[in-house]
Each structure stands twice: as C-alpha cells, then as structure tokens.
Amino acid sequence: MLLKFRAEQDAFSAAKIAGTVFAVGVSVAALVSIYPAFAQEAASTPADTSALRVCAAANEAPYSVMDESGYENKIAKVLAEALNRKVQFVWSPKPAIYAVRDQLDKNLCDVVIGVDTGDERVLTSHPYYKASYVFVQRADSPLKIDSWKSPDLHKAGKISFVQGTPADVMMNEVDLYNDNINYVSSLTNFKDKRNAYTRVPPQRMIGEVADKTADLAVAFAPEVARYVKSSGALKMTLVPDDNVRSDGQHVPFQFDQSVAVRKSDKDLLAAIDKALPQVQSKIEAILTEEGIPFVSPPPRT
C-alpha cells in the first residue's frame, strides 16, 4: 500500500512516495471537513497497548478505505488477531504515500501494511507475499503481449501506465512513451503534477481497457486486480522481472511486501514476524479473493 508503485527507491522514488489531490473519490479538504477529527484525533489519543494501531488511508481503494473494505485493511485485521490485539485504524485523508512521514514517524500509529521489504526508512517484517506488475488486456485481444520484448507492443493502440514507475522506464526503453503520454495524462484530466501527487485512478485505467479506449495497461497487480476481476472481460499477464535499462541497470517489476514499524520498535517487529506464519493462509485467502496474483514467501530458515 504505502509504496504503491513498488519501484526501487533510488531509481523510482518519485512514484513511490509523494500529494494533495486524490484522482478519484473525496478530496483531502472534503474529508477533513466531513471528519474534522482526522487532524487531531490520533495525536490526542494515548497509545493503547492492547491495540494494533494501523496507519491507514481513508480513501485509497483497493488498498485501504474507511469502511475497512480495502484488502490491506483485511490483512491488518488478521494480523491483529494473531497478535491478540484489537485493530485500531488511524485514518488519514492523505494518500498512503505519506503514511511513514506524517503518521508513523509522528507516533500516531505503529504499523503500515504493504511496504516494500527493506524500505530504509523503517524496519520491515519478513515478506508475506511477492507482488508483480502486470500487462492488462481484453481477454479477446489478438495481441500477444507477455514481455517488454513482445513485438505486438508496437501494434497496440493506446497504452496506459503510471509515470515515475518501472513501466514508465520501460515505455521509454521501447520507444513508446511519447506516443502515449498525452493519453496517460488524460487519465488524471491533465492535472498539474508539479509539487503535488496525483493518483492515476486504477478503476478508470482498467475500465478504459475494458471499453476498448485503450489496448493495454501496465500496472501494479494489487492496485488493479479487483477491477480486472470484476470486469469479467480482461486478463492479466505477469511482467517478467528480467528487464534492464539501456545502461544495464535492472528495472524491477516484482516486489516483496512487508509490514513496517518504526526503527525503534524492534519488539513489535519480532512479534509481527512470529505472528505472520500463523496467518499466512488467511492472508493468501484475502489476496486470492481480491484476484491478486502472488508468490508465497519462501520457508524461513
């Protein structure tokens, strides 16, 4: 969740974290006006040691939603159960990309679900699944696209992707970026991205493949799987993880996912690492229900 676009920090930090505008749903200002307690509630409430305080975005489907329908909300609940704690979501009107800076580091909450394993800003748990980027096409598409080397990429009409992500890098590498950047910008209604984070609405991105506006979307599977599944007319193909830039640098498309805690919370991290194997099957059931293709973590030694 936190690092939605799942790229290595040094190469893709602009896409991993940065926002003042939701591309879909309710604006930050509207959420604060509807729920004025957002700004002060967590700060004024002492930490409850019987609770697992989870940093959570209020309006960032499919990851986290205030009605707790986000799949990462569900993962938080099963983790809290394994820790014998009650889950306490600390909601923020800001995008989840700000969760570490504006919530976790300020001690407003204690864990972030869905962080890239090894994020240097935090301590991360053992991974509980590996997630991949995917090519999304209509199931009846005549185009065979299963890697960035596929010749049919150049036969596709409009292709959607998120700027600043690994897909952005490879669209440049295969010389398709300039042909598609205007279309990509249209997905956020040409909002100015200077000094602001503007999310590309995943439901719109996938919907425009389904309605044949676009031939292809390249997206992070956990962000779009719900909408691919509900469409009934689309398919996902995992993007191979063997891609390199022209300078030889690896461009990752698969990312281990972990729970994050503050660097000082070593005891909590140890408890989480002990609890995760107990709920691994429940986590995988949540991912399966969501339609997310995943790789289970390797056995611990």
Looking at the predicted structure, is the pLDDT value of residue 86 above 70? Answer: yes
Looking at the predicted structure, is the pLDDT value of residue 146 above 90? Answer: yes
Q: Which domains does the chain have, with CATH numbers?
A: 9-129+255-290 (3.40.190.10), 132-251 (3.40.190.10)
Closest to 241 (Cα-Cα) out of 257, 233, 252: 252
Percent of the chain topping pLDDT 70? 84
CA gap 71, 107 in Å, rounded: 24
pTM of the model: 0.86
Averaged pLDDT score across all residues of the chain = 88
Looking at the predicted structure, is the pLDDT value of residue 69 above 60? Answer: yes
Closest to 199 (Cα-Cα) out of 3, 11, 28, 24: 24
Percent of the chain topping pLDDT 90? 80
Closest to 77 (Cα-Cα) out of 288, 282, 294: 282
Q: What is the mean pLDDT of residues 35-46?
A: 46
